Amino acid sequence: MPHVPEDSSPENWHRYFAMECNNRAWELVAQISRTPAECVEMLNSAHASALHWAAVGTELNQMRAKTLLAEVHALSGFGDSALRLASEIRPFFLDRETEDWELAYVHTIYAHAAAVAGDERGHRSAYAEAVAAVANIADDEDRKIVLQTFEQLPRPDSG
């Protein structure tokens, strides 16, 4: 849990709520099933996190927030917005040095967004990249965390 700010600095409170909302949204993403109320909470938490990171976060914080939004939109069945967000974050992470676990998230979430948006070719390609990226995660705990998201990713049709 992030440290609760002891002062009235808006920046500290934005950062606090950005982290709190981010953590809650990822908890809900990791669940195999969600109630309708949890789906709404997941969507609201992801958007709130992005709002707060937009106020005080670095470019990396903001792109990570968009990564979460892309996955939450995919899980919510909003294919067009999920794919738009995933397409925005993908080059950011692929064109820089990126941690192995984060690269696996990017491919997994892009594949999920493409699947929900009906982009079969993008889904198939990103799925293969996600499989390889997950296998390349060095730390077992990091891999376990990413697999919570990957295992919700629909497999592409063969062909």
Q: How far is CA 70 from CA 8, 21, 40, 81, in A?
A: 32, 15, 15, 7
**Tokens 């992801």 label which residue?**
46
Domains for the chain: give ranges and CATH numbers.
10-150 (1.25.40.10)
> Could you tell me the pTM of the whole model?
0.93
DSSP string, 91-126: HHHHTS---HHHHHHHHHHHHHHHHHHT-HHHHHHH
Cα(159)–Cα(156) distance, rounded to whole angstroms?
Answer: 9
Tell whether the model's pLDDT for residue 110 goes beyond 60: yes
pLDDT above 70 covers what percent of the chain?
A: 97
pLDDT tens figures, 9-44: 888 899 999 999 999 999 999 998 999 999 999 999
